[in-house]
Chain A
Amino acid sequence: MAKKFNANDLKKVMADDAQLTRLFFIMLGSFILMCILVPDKFPTWNNMKSMMFQFPEIGIFALAVSLGMLLGGIDLSVVSVGNISTIIAALLMNKLVEGGMNGGLAVVIGCVVAMVIGCICGTFNGLLIAKLGIPAMIATLGAMEVFAGLGVGLTDGAAIFTPEAYAFIGAGYIAGIPVPLIIFLVVMVIFTIFLQKKTFGMELYLVGTNRKAARFAGISTDMTIIRTHMAGGLLAAIGGIILSSRVTSAKASYGSSYILQCLLVAILGGINPNGGFGKVPGIVMAILTLQFLSSGFNMMRADSYFKTFIWGFVLIAAMIINYYGDKAAEKKKRAAAAAKRAAEKAAAAAENN
């Protein structure tokens, strides 16, 4: 009896979140596919380890893009925010280390400064969108040019090398676990809690679903938008810190191909680009899928333009699949409602008799 109940329970969860279930199988499928295609290199501990270092940064950037999308907008400036934060932090850290400061302390100060700059950049985006009424896409596209331009101007377009101690963040281990992975997990857990359990998340989803209704419900929509973009800026800075520390330098042009991949992760992860729908677990599964495919293609020595093509293709395909998935779910819902109505009618008729 108990066993049967469990099976039903699982079925219910799967039906409730058809998208996450679908995504889980896509992830599993891409993993198995790569195991079959590159059996000697893909399913190895070495590969698993290198993947654990690679996906956290794009995962965090993708979460930042997703926050914007949950609001019904988008945040295209994430990578440039990450770059400008780490460029300024790197310049500062180098000055501090030159001045004879302990490397570890300088790195801590640098990271804090980077995150503060990320927040400021995010707030700038939020103000443009909420207070001036610029559509999010245009605002963040313009902001991207400003931040990237500032980065190029400050560095002459060259890479700024970071202090030795900084590399720990991108390449170190704590208790045998890669540091980027730890940061990734902490960020994802915190944001899952904030989005699903806290008022902030509730307000964010409401504003994303229907801005006008949210305002009438007494939510300060402007404040929600600014706060969300501030959080996005913070995430962008964290992603930038991992990226720059992994390559031990900061540069304005790093991660120029990331924005498409971030969007891909967000869409594949079930974030609705019209706002209001999407969950963190989806993003995690989507970034893993992307990493499996990416690593596998690298092992097969695929052309980088082949990868560009595949990302575009997967992005379009994912949206089309979601379209049919939503349609099927709606059909099912309607059928269920009709059946319920019919049953009620029958019951009423029986009662009358």
Chain B
Amino acid sequence: MKKLFKTHETYVALTVIALCLVIGIINPVFFSAPNIVNLFRNATVNGIMAFALMMGIIIGGIDVAFPAVAVCSMYLTTKTLESMGYDGPVFIPILAAALIGTLLGLINGLIITKFDLPAFIVTLGTSSLYHGLLVWLVGSKPVNRLEPPLEAFGKMEIFRVTNDTTSAALPWTFVFMVAMALVVWFILNKTMLGRTIFAIGGDRTSAERAGYPVKRTIVFTYTFIGMAGGLAGIIHAIQSQMCIPTDLMGCEMMIIAAVVLGGTTISGGRGTVLGTCLGLAVITIAKNSLILVGITATWQRFVLGLIIVIGTAVSAYQALRASRKIAPVMTEEEEGGVVNG
């Protein structure tokens, strides 16, 4: 029980509950079933990207290129399908988008490791490189109507809830987010790869000396984020039933915020799937429900910014306090104060 109160996840969970209660008391519409289903629907695309990005942050890096990767994948895929009048199974375009993402992510990873460059600046560069190249060469004309297989897949519902005023459905695309969360959880907790990622994030030099394949793992992580970006892109297109090549650009801020709010330390080495779920919940609720409590659209960005600053401040301050605590504890141990744990 005591341990439960020490974890960061508990605080984030309390924040989520508090946020829900405040919004729900001011405007009971928040607790209506369609609204809640809509929140889950809206979290799908961001969630796919957030879980993958979390791995990048745990390893001690960062990626801001995944929105551009997502746009490249969805636009290239939907544009190609449109020109060939595609009518095959739906998994092929999804696979193709993920493949494009994988390739672009691999390029990021290779540049970062080969030349030992800061990930933030590299991905910022490749972000504008990818997006600029895409719109310059392919154009910016939106794909207004997806091909029938994708359109049909977007309309497939897991279930639908209806009350007297509105109705909302959870689409099958939601499954992709759940799958991504499970895959990331599995990699981080059940595989050697996951241990390597945590080891590199904790202390890269030590990981290198201990014989972990550091560079290979970093390349894998950025490739994985690229793959998730590609997947998120095509899912976004399927959910919105169209493809605009300027959509999603600039969403990296929210995703990073979700991951960091969830307790993943930005300097690496710590982070959980559960935490990211909760961080994602905070961001999704704040983004979609501020309007319900009467905060107008013009002030939304300010309030979101405040939530991000306060959230990251709390988690950073805890880490800072913890690191200051370690020093005296260690001297005590040296004096022979600790006998049995």
Chain A residues within 8 Å of B, Cβ to Cβ:
74, 128, 132-135, 137-139, 141-150, 152-153, 156-157, 260, 263-264, 267, 273-274, 303, 305-313, 315-316, 319-320, 323
Q: Is the CB of A303 within 8 A of B118?
A: no
Q: How far is the CB of B295 from chain A (nearest CB, A)?
A: 10
Q: Which residues of B contact A263 (CB under 8 A)?
A: 121, 124
Contact of A146 among B127, B136, B260, B306 (CB under 8 A): B306
- Chosen A-B contacts, 24 in total, with CB atoms closer than 8 Å, are A132-B317, A135-B316, A141-B253, A142-B305, A145-B253, A146-B302, A148-B305, A149-B300, A149-B306, A156-B298, A157-B298, A305-B134, A308-B131, A308-B132, A309-B131, A309-B132, A312-B124, A312-B126, A312-B132, A315-B121, A316-B111, A316-B126, A319-B115, A320-B111
- Given contacts A139-B312, A142-B312, A305-B131, is CB(A74)–CB(B120) below 8 Å? yes
Q: How far is the CB of B247 from chain A (nearest CB, A)?
A: 15
Q: Is the CB of B132 within 8 A of A137?
A: no
- Judged by a CB distance under 8 angstroms, whether B189 is at the interface is no
Closest A-chain residue to B131, C-beta based? A308
Chain B residues within 8 Å of A, Cβ to Cβ:
62, 111, 115-118, 120-122, 124-136, 140, 253, 256-257, 260, 266-267, 298-306, 308-309, 312-313, 316-317, 319-320
Q: Which residues of A contact B120 (CB under 8 A)?
A: 74, 137, 273
Q: How far is the CB of A141 from chain B (nearest CB, A)?
A: 6
Q: How far is the CB of B63 from chain A (nearest CB, A)?
A: 12
Contact of A152 among B122, B126, B136, B298 (CB under 8 A): B298
Q: Is the CB of A305 within 8 A of B132?
A: yes
Q: Is the CB of A141 within 8 A of B256?
A: yes
Q: Which residues of B contact A274 (CB under 8 A)?
A: 118
Q: Which residues of A contact B122 (CB under 8 A)?
A: 316, 319
- Given contacts A137-B62, A319-B117, A319-B121, is CB(A142)–CB(B129) below 8 Å? no
4 A-B pairs besides A145-B308, A153-B298 with CB distance below 8 A are A138-B260, A146-B309, A149-B300, A308-B132
Q: Which residues of A contact B300 (CB under 8 A)?
A: 149
Q: Is the CB of B309 within 8 A of A312?
A: no
Q: Which residues of B contact A307 (CB under 8 A)?
A: 132
Q: Which residues of A contact B299 (CB under 8 A)?
A: 149, 152-153
Q: Is the CB of A260 within 8 A of B124?
A: yes
Q: How far is the CA of A245 from the CA of B41 in the complex (A)?
A: 44
Q: How far is the CA of A71 from the CA of B149 in the complex (A)?
A: 52
Closest A-chain residue to B245, C-beta based? A305
Q: How far is the CA of A138 from the CA of B310 in the complex (A)?
A: 12
- Given contacts A132-B313, A132-B316, A152-B301, is CB(A315)–CB(B125) below 8 Å? yes
Contact of A305 among B125, B126, B136, B256 (CB under 8 A): B136
* Most interface-central of B121, B135, B320 (chain A CB within 10 A): B121
Per DSSP, are chain A's interface residues mostly helix, strand or loop, or mixed? helix
Closest B-chain residue to A323, C-beta based? B115
Q: Which residues of B contact A267 (CB under 8 A)?
A: 121
Q: Which residues of B contact A74 (CB under 8 A)?
A: 120
Q: Which residues of A contact B124 (CB under 8 A)?
A: 260, 263, 312, 315
Q: How far is the CA of A306 from the CA of B257 in the complex (A)?
A: 30
Q: Is the CB of A323 within 8 A of B312?
A: no
Q: How far is the CB of B190 from chain A (nearest CB, A)?
A: 29
Q: Which residues of A contact B126 (CB under 8 A)?
A: 312, 316
Contact of A309 among B136, B301, B306, B317 (CB under 8 A): B136
Q: How far is the CA of A339 from the CA of B308 in the complex (A)?
A: 55
Q: How far is the CB of B260 from chain A (nearest CB, A)?
A: 6
Q: How far is the CA of A157 from the CA of B116 in the complex (A)?
A: 40
Q: How far is the CA of A135 from the CA of B313 in the complex (A)?
A: 10
Q: How far is the CA of A225 from the CA of B124 in the complex (A)?
A: 24
Q: How far is the CA of A133 from the CA of B267 in the complex (A)?
A: 11
Closest A-chain residue to B140, C-beta based? A305
Q: How far is the CA of A312 from the CA of B266 in the complex (A)?
A: 24
Q: Is the CB of A311 within 8 A of B128?
A: yes
Q: Is the CB of B301 within 8 A of A135?
A: no
Closest A-chain residue to B252, C-beta based? A141
Q: Which residues of A contact B111 (CB under 8 A)?
A: 316, 320
Closest B-chain residue to A256, C-beta based? B250
- Given contacts A138-B256, A153-B298, is CB(A313)–CB(B121) below 8 Å? no
Q: How far is the CB of A69 from chain B (nearest CB, A)?
A: 9
Q: How far is the CA of A133 from the CA of B312 in the complex (A)?
A: 10
Q: How far is the CA of A139 from the CA of B320 in the complex (A)?
A: 15
Q: Which residues of A contact B118 (CB under 8 A)?
A: 273-274
Q: How far is the CA of A31 from the CA of B302 in the complex (A)?
A: 42
Q: Which residues of A contact B140 (CB under 8 A)?
A: 305
Q: Is the CB of B128 within 8 A of A308?
A: yes
Q: Which residues of B contact A138 (CB under 8 A)?
A: 256, 260, 266, 312, 316
Q: Which residues of B contact A141 (CB under 8 A)?
A: 253, 256, 308
Q: How far is the CA of A145 from the CA of B131 in the complex (A)?
A: 22
Q: How far is the CB of A65 from chain B (nearest CB, A)?
A: 11
Q: Which residues of A contact B129 (CB under 8 A)?
A: 309, 312-313, 316
Q: Which residues of B contact A149 (CB under 8 A)?
A: 299-306
Q: Which residues of A contact B256 (CB under 8 A)?
A: 138, 141
Q: Is the CB of A323 within 8 A of B117?
A: yes
Q: Is the CB of A135 within 8 A of B267?
A: yes
Q: Which residues of B contact A308 (CB under 8 A)?
A: 128, 131-132, 135-136
Contact of A306 among B132, B302, B317 (CB under 8 A): B132
Q: How far is the CA of A137 from the CA of B266 in the complex (A)?
A: 9
Q: Which residues of B contact A132 (CB under 8 A)?
A: 313, 316-317, 320
Closest A-chain residue to B310, C-beta based? A142
Q: Which residues of B contact A273 (CB under 8 A)?
A: 118, 120-121
Q: How far is the CB of A256 from chain B (nearest CB, A)?
A: 9
Q: How far is the CA of A54 from the CA of B125 in the complex (A)?
A: 23
* Most interface-central of A156, A260, A308, A315 (chain B CB within 10 A): A308
Nearest 5 CB-CB pairs, A to B? A149-B302, A309-B132, A145-B305, A312-B129, A308-B132
Closest B-chain residue to A157, C-beta based? B298
Closest B-chain residue to A316, C-beta based? B125
Q: Is the CB of B128 within 8 A of A309?
A: yes
Q: How far is the CA of A99 from the CA of B125 in the complex (A)?
A: 48
